[in-house]
Amino acid sequence: MATPDPHHAPPEHATRAIVNLDLPRHRISRHLYGHFAEHLGRGIYGGIWVGDGSPHENVDGLRTSVIEALREIAAPNLRWPGGCFADDYHWRDGVGDRAARPHMLNSNWGDVVEDNAFGTHEFLRLCELVGAEPYIAGNVGSGTVAEMSEWVEYLTRADDSPMAAMRRSHGRDRPWSVPFWGLGNEAWGCGGGMRADHYAALARQFATYARSHGGNELYRIAAGANIDDYAWTEALMRAIDGLEPVDGAPRPFQAVSVHAYTHARSWKDKGRATGFTVEEWYTTLSNASRMDELLTRHSAVMQHYDPHGKVGLVVDEWGTWFEPESGTNPHFLFQQNTLRDALVASIHFDIFHRHAQRVVMANLAQTVNVLQAVLLTDAQTGAVVKTPTFHVFEMNRGHHDAWALDVDLVGVPSTRVRERELALLSASASTVGDSALVSLTNLDPAQDRRVMLDLRGREIAGFSARVLTASRLDAHNSPDRTEVEPEPWSDIARTDSGLDVVVPAHGYVTVKVDLA
């Protein structure tokens, strides 16, 4: 479907997209394109980590093809070790001689025993090889203040302090740069079953002792709300309201998080990753579009206490969550990744771009073999598959650290999905230097859509486009067959006011505009 049929007339109805190229708004942080790797199923073991003696190509036990793929999409950060796993994880068990590390029970995900072969040093080696900044989630649920404080010291202190000396004894002389620090995870659920005010007090306490050492300034992220629990966000903001800032940043934490997943039906009946109906196509994309409402309302709560936007909002778990594939361990959360997942990702990024003044980071769940993974590995052959979601990340690299541009859409078609109105076109745009990138998503499963890009404020010197689509709504990639990957797109033409673009049914198009 990447090449337009010359005998197929483009759709008559057109949506107008007005973009003022000379009016940049706010920076789109590259950290909105972050990732999340938890000790869950085949995410770490059998995904990222294969071990030194593996027949699969690796660097220090880390799968080479995963490293290369994450570099291809310029993964800006990686969150670890969880997730629910974080609040059962005691970091001392994962440092030192691998052969001497104690085993542990992963009671959250499959009740399996792990050997702690992948720990702090292995994770930070992965980040170095990928070029990603580490985001570590500390243990608040079952850990202690001292344990978290000493982990930060172990990682980031350069002198002869007790924890720095321990790190050197384990083979690492220089400290690491670890900017992002999570104060637990889902404290309302698997992270401790806490009430909001109780956790808010703990977050202040743990953050106070998670100290910045030397030149490593910690950006502390409090474990935030589940979906639309706006009272939880308010409790966290109230806990730091009125505190004196230090170096312009509020104490004791600098951001709060929110988690929201997308299902085909509901949390209790998540639906299938493949073989879904057109109705489920619409429901899934409508559920994904709700992220805009969630960010608007959480941001409004934060704005009341923080009108100058000093406290960031971090969406450190998002993505599709369907029923696990038949024949796999249901606790390993392995699901196939289709074209539908790709469009869920593309509309999330459009939403993140619009909210980038408050939303400073986002982390897709998860990186390899779990939920909406960008990569899948074949257990037998070791082959690594780039999923449709991976390609949306790659196609959007031009938005990293670019300046957001408003996109005013006129004449957007929509459809009613249960109690919500779903716009069938989504768009966002950004600019940096002498270029701009426009992203266009057509959620209509059957109808091509024409978009008239009204580009104002700067002259167009040239343009090119790429498309991501397929013949089937649930098309996906496997080691034997690639059904979904980006291709050049030629159904685009110059007009007096900009560009005329046809976005194919269930398709995603990015337009790169060279500016004079």
What element of type H or E holds 59? strand 58-59
Q: Which amino acid is at 20?
A: N
User: For the stretch 248-287, what's the b/e string if a residue is b when 16 or more beta carbons lie within 10 angstroms of its beta carbon?
Assistant: ebbebbbbbbbbbbbbbbeeeebbbbbebeeebbbbbbbb
Asked, as a colleague might, if the bond just before 380 is cis with ω within 30 of 0, I would say no
Instruction: Return all residues near 226 (Cβ < 8 A) that are at least 6 apart.
Output: 186, 188, 189, 232, 258, 259
CB 75 within 8 A of CB 31: no
Q: Phi and psi (nearest 5°) for 143?
A: -100, -175
CB 345 within 8 A of CB 389: yes
- Tokens representing 458 are 């700067």
Instruction: Return all residues near 99 (Cβ < 8 A) that are at least 6 apart.
Output: none
- Give one DSSP letter per residue of 376-440, joined into a string: EE-TTT--EEE-HHHHHHHHTGGGTT-EEE-EEEES--EEEETTEEEESEEEEEEEETTEEEEEE
How many other C-beta atoms are found inside a 10 Å radius of the C-beta of residue 62? 21
Residue 269: strand, helix, or coil: coil
- Tokens representing 404 are 């957001």
Q: Rounded to the nearest 10 degrees, how much is the dihedral formed by the CA atoms of 389, 482, 266, 221?
A: -20
Residues with catalytic annotation? 186, 317
Please identify which residue in the block is written with the tokens 């789109």: 28
